[in-house]
Structure 1
């Protein structure tokens, strides 16, 4: 496995970790206004599943247009920016929705849409774009996709357990969200830097 492929697997793993971490924290974010009953989690899971499905479609479509590691890194960077409003605007958004919608089922669903819909769509674009960057032999595309989704899902599992067992006990929810945003931004920057270095290396090889 070359260093570029290893990086892509690492980024997919990390994105899975962040996605599930943010989803779990969604319950804590909504709880002060809407409680923590099963329909609150139903709202959160529905929004995340819907958003991810749209992200998969958009990421797959984007990956057909001259895919590059730089564009891949940009997805992480955009996701980082889109996560920040969860911290900045969660309370006023939920207060407004809570005061206008009496039924907590629909209130929590709308709040989940307002807070998590856009960032999760962006995060959902990562997996199909990862597959496209990794596939160089169409005969092995299924194997590559399986390995990628294994790594990504493993990251999601660890994100679930570490966030719920340890991080929420040691840190404030907003601080954890900020950390996820910072990690996504750093990963995007890493991908862009590696992409530029690879381009320079290829140019040097051609000249020599």
Structure 2
């Protein structure tokens, strides 16, 4: 008996090509925003606490902790609500919090630090407030992206590996572009507002995709 040839991977996805392209773009751009914002956070915190090893250790550990929590939580939520509606919610929440950080950098962070005793405690609390919530939310998109595209469990390795690689590319570009181009050109507050506005706009793109492909896709 002759076996039918296997369909190419793009024909075995759970969504159509337009929706799949949106997921890929989201993975790249959210990866860009994720580590781009880490660099922005460093520019928010280092004028207050210095650019020494303790400041960077705090930022990096909180960022990684936020992503870890986001990946874990996102896996559970993506299995329960596997759709573009959840993608939109993730982006709306991340956008709202970045707008909050934009407001906080007008003097609210300094006021918060002034109420805390101990430099290391103030550093950790400030780093947590600035970095942890948005990184949790942004981290939730990674497991959702796999859930959105995956139809056949046999393709899990290729799809997840490809998406993680694309996300890492976005991470690299976020660090380089934010550090060498955006921060010297427009400053941290403008970048924060820009990231928030971008996430808000792409949230509507996810809602539009949900309307086209239905609740389950």
Q: TM-score, normalised by structure 1?
A: 0.90
Q: Distance in 2 between matches of 1:44 and 1:101?
A: 19
Does structure 1 residue 5 correspond to structure 2 residue 20? yes
Residue 40 (1) aligns with residue 76 (2): no
Q: Does 1:188 align with 2:198?
A: no
Give deviations 1:61-99, integer Å, cap 9, x for gaps. Answer: 001114111221221111111111111123323343255
Correspondence list, 1:122-133, <5 A: 122-133=137-148
Find out whether 1:136 has 2:139 as its counterpart.
no
Shift of 1:7: 0.9
How many residue pairs were aligned?
Answer: 199
**Paired position in structure 2 for 1:100:** 116
Runs of 4+ aligned structure 1 residues displaced above 4 Å come to none
Structure 1 position 51, deviation (Å): 0.7
CA distance in 1, matches of 2:200, 2:170: 17
Task: State the SS of the aligned residue for 1:100.
Answer: coil
Q: 1:206 — aligned with what?
A: none
The equivalent of 1:23 in structure 2 is 38
Asked if structure 2 preserves the Cα contact closer than 8 Å seen for 1:94 and 1:111, the reply is: no
Matching residue within 69, 83, 86 for 2:84? 69
Cα drift, residue 134 of structure 1: 1.1
Q: Helix, strand or coil for the counterpart of 2:133?
A: helix
Instruction: Render the CA deviation track for 1:147-181: whole Å, top value 9, x for unaligned.
Output: 00011110010010000010011102101000000
TM-score under structure 2 length normalisation = 0.87
Structure 1 segments unaligned to the other structure (5+ residues): 200-208
CA distance in 1, matches of 2:49, 2:86: 38
Gap regions ≥5 residues in structure 2 = 1-9, 11-16
